[in-house]
Structure 1
Amino acid sequence: MSIADPTTDLVARLDRLGPAEVADILGLARSAGEADGADPFDEHTLLRLRDPQAAAVHLTARAPDGTLTGYAHLDTTDPAAGVGVELVVHPAYRRRGTGRALAGEVLAAATGPLRAWAHGDHPSAAALAVDLGFRRARVLWQLRRPLTADLPEVRLPDGVALHAFRPGEDDDAWLALNAAAFADHPEQGRWTEADLRVRLAEPWFDPAGFLLAVAESTGRLLGFHWTKVHERPGSARMGEVYVLGVDPSAHGGGLGRALTAAGLRHLRDERGLDRVMLYVDESNTGAVALYERTGFARWCGHVNYALG
């Protein structure tokens, strides 16, 4: 343990979290998300917070009265590729050195390169990253569009049909296609059976919103559009293009556009939603162009900073 300077917050390192600590961290994240307009943690970190077996280092900052003022999550699953970092400070305790103190402990605790996300591209995070020598390595855009506006028609290529994902039957075929479709993606293409299973067990999972495109003659899986619905107390429901992928051999035939349209229509017509979002890498210019032609516009950016 160490005393955070210049604050009087106590920064502690934990290798495991108890239920009360997880509840405190999630409450802090909600407060920060409401203040900043962007949640401080991605889905991967939230899932790991709830998994007591996940390999991670947890750094907590607490005021003398025990209030959780800040938290940093270090994903140590693959140190060679880089320790993943997400850090948040409670809005009421900012500008008093807590973020810098946590960042200093991150640097002391990590071995190997670091990859830190700044969700919403917050100016304070950018300034801290520059001060600590991090470089801006990757940008993930959040795009949004209304579902009340006209949606494109679903025009599937000849010989292709859609059906809903069948848990336990389509798992292996989907994992193989996901790996092929996202072979160059730093996270999505590395999904394992365990990664899929944990998401199928989430309360938001709906197989009817997990659309698969198959070749009618062979049954081979050619593409998919997995949708998601965000439901949070006090906030309007919103749909998400959670993951959309097409087999590389099926590129150029309009399947990506058809799957996009089918998922958007499902969110509007079957789930009754009036807006939708998605995330896409800035470097994936083809996907960005596809989504912008489908009516999406940039809402905010999430920046990944690298060190080492």
Structure 2
Amino acid sequence: MPSPSIPEFLARLIERARDADGQPPFSDGALVELRTGAKSLLELEHAAAVYSSTEAEFVVDPARRGAGIGTRLLDQLLERCEPSVKIWAHGDHPAARALAASHHLVAMRELHQLRMPVPFRPEVASDFDRFRPGVDEESWVALNAKAFAFHPEQGSVTVADLAELEAEPWFEADDFIVSRDGEGLAGYCWLKIEDGIGEFYVVGVDPDRQGEGLGRRLMAAGFARLADRGIRTAALYVESDNEPAIALYRSLGFTAHSVDIQYARA
């Protein structure tokens, strides 16, 4: 369920779109930035957008699609945003492709969602710990920024952003597995369990620890946690050009499920 702190109109719209499309119309990051004021809400009758000057996501009520509302909303976004604005379409729907083409927008990034059945509980190392709310935030943000220095969204998560995510109904500290290294963190496997799906929300390892198998061991711990909670389907998101990560996930048994496309002017 969406956070109760977002407008009721938007929460209802998100739920209707999720039911119709099988996935949420906005990323968690966009909704966090809406709540912190980093992004704004543009409402149109039967539609809404969450946007900044450089990035946007929007949705049209499933019952009102095909009536030109998406075109009107996209026109307004392009007027408000910078010429270089990037716009996400969650799910590679034919209507989204047609709308993008009508405005001379081309695909710039692809984010793939992969899924697989949760395997029987594997052997898991006992040296992992759980995230400690109120204690580990700064250490995690520092490690996350280091591990995802190449990633425009994940690498920029702040302590304030993390606090918003900790307030989400789905957050459980026991689903946030960490590897400690001295006084700090060496890696983590953060799970998001919602609607019966166990998402590997984000898995990160200190670049200085790459090649030690820590990422694979953290994934195994994540699968074990999902099995303990009775979750049968695992999911994760990965950039289409992140070949090492895709190779790892496919070796574990993940297969393609859906695609998110980021559009921009050519």
- Taking a change above 3 Å as real, the CA distance of residues 203 and 112 of structure 1, as seen in their structure-2 partners, is same
1:47 aligns with 2:18: no
Question: What's the counterpart of residue 92 of structure 2?
Answer: 121
Question: What's the counterpart of residue 259 of structure 2?
Answer: 301
1:200 aligns with 2:137: no
RMSD value, Cα? 2.1
Alpha-carbon deviation of 1:153?
A: 3.6
Question: What's the counterpart of residue 23 of structure 2?
Answer: 38
Gaps of 5+ in 2: none
Question: What's the counterpart of residue 56 of structure 2?
Answer: 85
Structure 2 residue identity aligned to 1:180: K
Which of the pair is proportionally richer in helix? 2
CA distance in 2, matches of 1:200, 1:46: 13
* % same residue: 41
- In the TM superposition, 1:261-300 aligns within 5 A as 261-269=220-228, 271-300=229-258
Question: What's the counterpart of residue 102 of structure 2?
Answer: 131
CA distance in 2, matches of 1:22, 1:37: 22
Deviations 1:157-190 (A, max 9, x none): xxxx211111222222211111111010111111
CA distance in 1, matches of 2:99, 2:77: 13
Deviations 1:241-291 (A, max 9, x none): 01100111111111110000001111111x221111111111111111111
Question: What's the counterpart of residue 163 of structure 1?
Answer: 129
Structure with the bigger RCO (C-alpha within 8 Å, sep 6+) is 2
Question: What's the counterpart of residue 71 of structure 1?
Answer: 48
- Taking a change above 3 Å as real, the CA distance of residues 195 and 55 of structure 1, as seen in their structure-2 partners, is closer
Alpha-carbon deviation of 1:220?
A: 4.2
Gaps of 5+ in 1: 1-18, 63-68, 232-236
CA distance in 2, matches of 1:57, 1:213: 36
Question: What's the counterpart of residue 188 of structure 1?
Answer: 154
Deviations 1:60-84 (A, max 9, x none): 222xxxxxx222221x2xx4xxx21
Question: What's the counterpart of residue 241 of structure 1?
Answer: 200
CA distance in 2, matches of 1:108, 1:253: 49
CA radius of gyration, larger in: 1
Structure 1 residue identity aligned to 2:139: A
Structure 2 residue identity aligned to 1:197: A
Deviating 4+ runs (over 6 angstroms): none
CA distance in 1, matches of 2:44, 2:169: 30
TM-score calculated relative to the size of structure 1: 0.80
1:224 aligns with 2:194: no
Alpha-carbon deviation of 1:213?
A: 1.0
CA distance in 2, matches of 1:48, 1:194: 10
Count of equivalent residues: 263
